[in-house]
Amino acid sequence: MRLATNPHYACEVTLQPVDRYPLDAAILFSDILTIPDAMGLGLSFVAGEGPKFEKPVQDEAAVKALYVPDPADKLKYVTDAVCEIKRALNNRIPLIGFSGSPFTLACYMVEGGSSANYRKVKEMMYRRPDLFNAILEKNTDAVIAYLNAQIDSGVDAVMVFDTWGGTLSHETYLQFSLPCLKRIVNSVKRERHGQKIPTIVFTKGCAPWIKEISEIGADAMGVDWTVSLGEVRALTQDRVALQGNLDPSVLFAGTEVVREQARKVIEDFGQVSNGGHVFNLGHGIDKDTDPEVVAALVDEVHSYSRKFHSR
């Protein structure tokens, strides 16, 4: 977290990929756990284990103690980083801000860190839905305030990462995660000084709820590599732009395979019309990815996608 909490370092890391590659947007370098950290839960990172919270939220007292952190106070390092990045970009390309989703944040908060099966989260969800909903409500308020602060500071779009939404059953996703995403989309600022601020939502493992997610009012919907963009587009009827969905593991298969698979993603979406397609990986990039392979991917997407845009 030391890099993310230092605005100068966060700016430098954000700019590194856009200075190296001809990307169409920059994404803020930060962490999805900034909000629970700002709630005072005592975030730390343990080598080989990932994030840990000193004060997991597992009973009524802990839930009642939760509060919405003031972005101008506990999260000022993020808004300061946004301002510094915007100055450095000088309108060269848009800057995307982001937050973890209320459900995904709750997973870490209740478990006290990463988990293989989210047993504690799901136990609370089924045994004490009132308690779990109270966490989600607080998290949703916090995400809205956080994203609005990023928008006020200059980001050009915002994205909500529901990384663990796909671990839910069909019914519990619709009951617990999707309503939070909808409230966020309906509550964040959609323009600044006359400029539209698009909202993007991404649930990893979204296949069972594609239609429902596309109807919450977001401008774009991220999808992972387990679904066909063409089939998703048919279901969503261009209500939203689609973002994705190359499998990040493809980047380890060599340049020619990467170029081939990139073309398949573009062809799968087809001719761009009302909805739009933002080419992206279906999830985060692996730290061991060869930078030269990334360069080939960016080049292929730019060159091959031109024929799919109406002139």
Domains within the chain, CATH numbers bracketed? 7-222 (3.20.20.210), 232-311 (no CATH)
Phi-psi region of 52 (alpha: psi -120 to 50; beta: other; left: phi over 0): beta
Residue 87 structure tokens: 């100055």
Task: Provide φ and ψ at 272, rounded to 5°.
Answer: -75, 130
**Contact predicate 143/150, CB 8 Å:** no
List of E strands, 163-212: 191-192, 195-196, 199-203
User: DSSP secondary structure string, 109-139?
Assistant: HHHTB--SS-HHHHHHHHH-HHHHHHHHHHH
- Please give the share of the chain, as a percent, with pLDDT higher than 70: 99
**Contact predicate 83/153, CB 8 Å:** yes
What pTM value is reported for the model?
A: 0.95
Confidence of residue 2 (pLDDT cuts 50, 70, 90): confident
Tens digits of per-residue pLDDT, 243-284?
999 999 999 999 999 999 999 999 999 998 877 999 999 999
Q: Which helix (H) or strand (E) holds 46?
A: strand 43-46
Tens digits of per-residue pLDDT, 195-253?
999 999 999 999 999 999 999 999 999 999 999 999 999 999 999 999 999 999 999 99
In the predicted structure, residue 1 carries a pLDDT above the cut 80: no
